[in-house]
Structure 1
Amino acid sequence: MHAVHDALGRIRDEGRHVKIALISEHASPLAVAGGVDSGGQNIYVANVARQLVRIGHEVDVFTRCDCSLLPLIFRFENIRVINVPAGPAVQLPKEQLLPHMDAFARFMIDFMKNEATPYQVVHANFFMSGLVGLQIKLTLRVPLVTTFHALGRVRRLYQGESDNFPDERFAIEDELVKHSDSVIAECPQDENDLINLYDADPSRIDLVPCGFDRFEFHPLDKESARERLGWPQDKFIILQLGRMVPRKGVDNVVRALSLCVNEHGEEANLYVAGGNSDEANDIATPEIGRLRGIARECRIEERVHFVGRHGRKSLKHFYNAADVSVTTPWYEPFGITPLEAMACGRPVIGADVGGIRYSVAHGETGLLVPPKDPAALAQALVRLKRNPELAERMGEMGYARARTLFTWPGVAESLAQVYAHVAGVQVPSVPRVAAGGASR
């Protein structure tokens, strides 16, 4: 790791940095995470941009302007966020944004042409950003790196008719896989899907995972965290934290809690953090209303607590106050919340899908269970409740795994190596780092 920092320091000192255009059409780094369309991608883009600047690169983030009060260019932490005028300046579901991508691309091409210093790499996040990036590549001959964050064919497989993206998404993704200079896979399952479902060239896939902020997420005293949140000290507490949308499988956690209590005879409480507002109400977040109904049907309404959405700075207290963090989505391209829980020294029970299968080491840092299987989840919860020493050991090992493999500085350093390769920038040899290990 010292060799990485030394080499990157030489790149910075000798002026051999890369100017990068990060495109994230629906997920602004300035947005508050936790809304329907605000989550892992917002966090990813913000942290990648921040860390790339830290190691000496120049970064502009291009995102669609969704509010008429936003300035064209907003600066934070030496990063420029360009709020691209493309479509009405109001919030729209991401499923409705594809028709506005031509306007997005035209604006970006004009903007890039007028820059005094040319961009050397475009890094597109999501398929619509990729469509913009592909037009830029063809027009300006700037290398294109694409991170899909979710693949259309995988989404359609799991969401079926509830997937509201148009079928043309598949053809766009095919073109991006074929013409991107590098496609970033966030986990081995993502890499396999790219090869098997999109006929991707393995030599142009780089494996670089997501990360967590090691200064933001770290172990705290559980009793103090519970006192701060007003949670009971003498209860076994399960935490579900994330966006309140059906595919996250929170109903699975509610039903598993019912089995813990009513079939296994184990006392437990579930705290659900997330929603579209700071208040956990059914109007702001319809999914919460659905979940409350399930809790009533299962006769555990008094054990399920909806605490709303909270700022990033307070989330460490939620993770540290819990006995176990649970996330059992139907599918998950990567999933950042398991990393954050592990970074706080908590065991994780996760669905055996996508990136969770990669980040959670089954039997070591937590337990993996099939999605949509409340009985299996209940058995895993009971196992950890009845064996607190095992839960503590898993939390300790999860902490070590997260800090070794999944930090944002490591992610950014791996991405910087990908950028240097596709841009043909001659930089000192930098070993691949353990951020999941970008590799060709």
Structure 2
Amino acid sequence: MAKGFFALVLHAHLPYVRHPEREKYLEENWFFEALTETYIPLVKVIDNMLNDGVDFRITISLSPPLISMMADDLLKERYLKHLDRLIELAGKETARTRGTEFENPASMYFNRFHEIRDVFVNRYRCNLLHAFRKHRDSGKVELITSGATHGYFPLMKNREAIKAQVTVAVDLFTRHFGSPPRGMWLPECGYTEGVDEILKANGIQFFFTDTHGIMFATPSPVHGVFAPLYTSAGVAAFGRDLETSKQVWDMHSGYPGDYNYREFYRDIGYDLDLDYISPYIGENSIRIDTGMKYYRITGKTDRKQVYDPGIADERAAEHAGNFLYNRGKQVEYLAACMDRPPLVVSTYDAELFGHWWYEGPQWIDYLLRKMHYDQENVKTITPWEYLNQYPVNQVSSLPMTSWGHRGYSEMWLDPANDWIYRHLHKAEERMVEMAQAYPAAEGFQQRVLKQMARELLLAQSSDWAFIMKMGTSVEYAEKRTKDHIARFNRLYWGIKNNDLDEDEVKTLEITDNIFPDLDYTVYRSDKSNVLPMPRKGEGQGIRNHTVLMLSWEYPPKTVGGLARHVYDLSRALAAQGEEVHVVTCHVPGAKPYELLDGVHVYRVHPVHMETHGFLDWVERLNMAMIDCAHNLLKSHHFDLIHAHDWLVAQAGKVLKESYRVPLVSTIHATEFGRNRGIHNETQRHINQIEWGLTFESWKVICCSRYMAREIAQVFQLPADKIRIIANGVEVKNVIPRVVDPGFRSKYALPFEKIVYFVGRLVPEKGVQVLIQAVPQIIKKFPNVKFVISGKGSYQEELYKLAEQLGVNHKVYFTGFADDDTRNMLFACSDLAVFPSLYEPFGIVALEAMATRVPVIVSETGGLSEVVEHGVDGLKVYPDDVNSLASAVLRILSEPGLAEKLSHSGWEKVNSVYNWGFIAAETIKVYREVVTEAGSVGFASGQ
């Protein structure tokens, strides 16, 4: 068995260079050289290993510009001409050098160029993407993507610009390879806060960062770079291993600097007579590399010795063996320190292999074969495979990093290139503006907007800033940047002033033709300050009040029962004539604005900067909510604000005072109740926020008499300020849409009963009491399974408890259950148990009753008010194992009782706890508040 894993990752990228306006263009040679020296040799290596049955893994990121150039017919045609010129030159050189010391390398190039042509033309019909797709389908090669034009994310001003780079890249990859990528190479490994959420929204499961991106994470990584970290969005980050990087990457101490390898900086394009070589170099006899180099590195001397391909090949094999030996020692050492096999991630620019290090593809071939044939300690793997084998990893917050000089943004923000950003940032803003203004453009207008997006993307390529900093092809890089910005601005003002013509746009479409299927609406903003503002009255019916509702969660973001409450209440209010605008937190994949069942929903993103904990994040969420509300208040008159729980307290209070709009709050639970007291500074801080919210509120709504007593006591509220309105349940939302006959068999045998719990796995929900009762229950009633759905901070302790009690074969943890899964589990359960230690209301008990499942609840909080003991359910003492075990056994053993309780529970839900009644009671509170506010002169300042 392998002691550790090795992930070889190659990043394949070139800037998009295509110039149809001229027959030959010098910079197109970048692509042609890369095909000849790197990509086709790499394809050959992989083909040969597949043919020989070698078991290997390699991860290759193909950037969208490179994919687009490989697919471009014009560039294919030009590459063939380039290749034929090389073959012609190599033929002449073979004749010229015959009988000299250069005959051997000249013959090597002649044979090599013919092999390259054979692979390109005969094997793959000029389509290398077919080769990479074949490799991907073999299961040995993981293909991933990169940013649409390799734009550097940390220096982009707008979130939408990053989103466009990711979304366009994923779409292009999917079009060419048939399915989306699972991973992404962040351009220049540039990571900044919020990028992970955009990746997650686009289905990306993992990405790579430089070493310090992992090592400086918070909290610090337990396993260093030898295991991935999850970000808060659930995307895995893999860090580069420094040791393997230095061995291969370093041109002096690394393998490529060996004196027997080919010298990169001596080319016959410079060495031979101009008259002889001029047909094979640049226009106007500009000397450029031909790719034919006859010398080896030799040493730090100008007197170079002739290159010997045979000796170089031997050195490549030796270096592969040395690399493998070092990896064996490395993983052996690391394995002793870790709870899993270590993962060594080696990330490189693909063009290092072949272009810069001519023998690089041979080295890869030898290395992967040796790993397969010569040892068993180190096994190759892809990041995706590692995540599947070891899905549980540490969660940390990653800092802003790159793999550029000194590890941050110095390479792309320098006096040589900093002038570009004011233009790029302005273009970003204008593109977002246009996407907002024209959400459904058609015809010529749509073509213009798509071309604007192409020009912006092309201007953002990190290559231009890099070239300016390095001082190489500066004139070309500056020209490309200026040209794309100028074209973008011309189109922007043209569409604003309606002075564009067909021929002008068509010329740009031919010149900059990347991303033919680009959807410009990817730039539509998900930030609060540019959300669409519906006009007052838009929706259904005559409105009684216009309500601004604040909630930190709202479907599809569902953490607890609060999201479901606000969702059902807002819809029920809208159905009774209220105009409801809900401002909530964004969720990846959801629209920033939607009109859902008459409810206006705005999803805002916390301010784009690094946070230092949950409370800091809450503050930024409130700032985003306030920002959104400011914009809404420009076009709407709100009668009142309705804030749900402490997480939106700051926004509610600020908006109340700024616009003199009366505030109503609903307290769903208190920090005092959740923790059965206040025990630390964080709890004291939250308790103070809750008190401030109730103090500033005109009326405070709670869901039960129990909660009314609690908030009156904890916050010293007068009785006339508190209103009790129960929670409700929408029966149709808990009835399974599809009944799968085989669904139940996943959890229990046909003769076994199912006892079900669903909720957050936290101590106050009392799941530990249920698990502790299992041994007593199965002793008397063995044919039963306990199914537990949910996740939370206490889940690991619950897993351990089941194992310690020897009942883990009877307890099935499903993890988080979506609505459909939950509904089907309710439908096939024989009993639902909710043994809470603290529960303000317990809407989940109503949901169980709505599905005709008998329920057992703790006699605590609102649960004791929902269930009438012996009539529509059973109640047990909180935190009492014996009481709970007896109640479960009673229902399992008495089918008649179970039927009676389930029928009575169903009738209660449909008569007492329906959302129409609850909405009507809430509207009464709204009327009361608006009337009282008006009577004391609390006039609106809107």
Question: Does TM, scored on the shorter chain, surpass 0.5?
Answer: yes
1:142 maps onto 2:651 in alignment? no
Q: How many residues align?
A: 391
1:189 maps onto 2:706 in alignment? yes
Deviations 1:232-273 (A, max 9, x none): 3311210011222333221211111122123x4554210112
C-alpha deviation, 1:96, in angstroms: 4.5
Equivalent AA in structure 1 for residue 551 of structure 2:
S
- Would the alpha carbon gap of residues 40 and 90 (structure 1) be closer, same or farther in structure 2, given more than 3 Å must change? farther
1:157-236 pair list within 5 angstroms: 157=676, 160=679, 165-218=682-735, 227-230=742-745, 231-236=748-753
- Would the alpha carbon gap of residues 106 and 343 (structure 1) be closer, same or farther in structure 2, given more than 3 Å must change? closer
1:17-416 pair list within 5 angstroms: 17-25=544-552, 27-31=553-557, 33=558, 38-65=559-586, 72-88=592-608, 95-100=615-620, 103-104=623-624, 106-115=626-635, 117-157=636-676, 160=679, 165-218=682-735, 227-230=742-745, 231-262=748-779, 264=780, 266-275=782-791, 287-416=794-923
C-alpha deviation, 1:397, in angstroms: 0.9
- Would the alpha carbon gap of residues 253 and 22 (structure 1) be closer, same or farther in structure 2, given more than 3 Å must change? same
- Would the alpha carbon gap of residues 130 and 99 (structure 1) be closer, same or farther in structure 2, given more than 3 Å must change? closer
C-alpha deviation, 1:16, in angstroms: 4.6
1:381 and 1:260 map into 2 onto residues whose CA distance is 7
C-alpha deviation, 1:422, in angstroms: 1.3
Native 8 Å contact 1:274 1:309 kept in 2: yes
Equivalent AA in structure 2 for residue 152 of structure 1:
E
Deviations 1:308-347 (A, max 9, x none): 3333134332112111100112211212110011111111
Native 8 Å contact 1:257 1:268 kept in 2: no
Native 8 Å contact 1:65 1:89 kept in 2: no
Identity across the alignment (%): 24
Structure label with greater radius of gyration: 2
C-alpha deviation, 1:274, in angstroms: 2.3
2:897 and 2:884 map into 1 onto residues whose CA distance is 16
DSSP-derived class of the 1:206 partner: strand
2:885 and 2:852 map into 1 onto residues whose CA distance is 21
C-alpha deviation, 1:21, in angstroms: 0.8
DSSP-derived class of the 2:743 partner: helix
- Would the alpha carbon gap of residues 301 and 155 (structure 1) be closer, same or farther in structure 2, given more than 3 Å must change? closer
1:363 and 1:250 map into 2 onto residues whose CA distance is 22
The two structures have a TM-score, normalised by structure 1, of 0.81
Native 8 Å contact 2:736 2:820 kept in 1: no
C-alpha deviation, 1:180, in angstroms: 1.1
Equivalent AA in structure 1 for residue 687 of structure 2:
F
Native 8 Å contact 1:85 1:107 kept in 2: no
- Would the alpha carbon gap of residues 389 and 142 (structure 1) be closer, same or farther in structure 2, given more than 3 Å must change? same
Deviations 1:202-259 (A, max 9, x none): 11211111111121235999xx777433243311210011222333221211111122
Q: Which structure has greater helix proportion?
A: 2
The two structures have a TM-score, normalised by structure 2, of 0.39
- Would the alpha carbon gap of residues 86 and 192 (structure 1) be closer, same or farther in structure 2, given more than 3 Å must change? same
Deviations 1:402-422 (A, max 9, x none): 111112222222212211221
C-alpha deviation, 1:66, in angstroms: 5.6
DSSP-derived class of the 2:814 partner: strand
DSSP-derived class of the 1:424 partner: helix
- Would the alpha carbon gap of residues 235 and 66 (structure 1) be closer, same or farther in structure 2, given more than 3 Å must change? closer
Structure 2, unaligned stretches of length 5 or more? Answer: 1-539, 933-942
Structure 1, unaligned stretches of length 5 or more? Answer: 1-11, 276-284, 426-440
> Partner residue of 1:428?
none
Equivalent AA in structure 1 for residue 725 of structure 2:
V
DSSP-derived class of the 2:582 partner: strand
1:106 and 1:123 map into 2 onto residues whose CA distance is 14
Native 8 Å contact 1:126 1:150 kept in 2: yes
DSSP-derived class of the 2:562 partner: helix
Native 8 Å contact 2:674 2:764 kept in 1: no
Native 8 Å contact 1:84 1:104 kept in 2: yes
1:378 and 1:174 map into 2 onto residues whose CA distance is 39
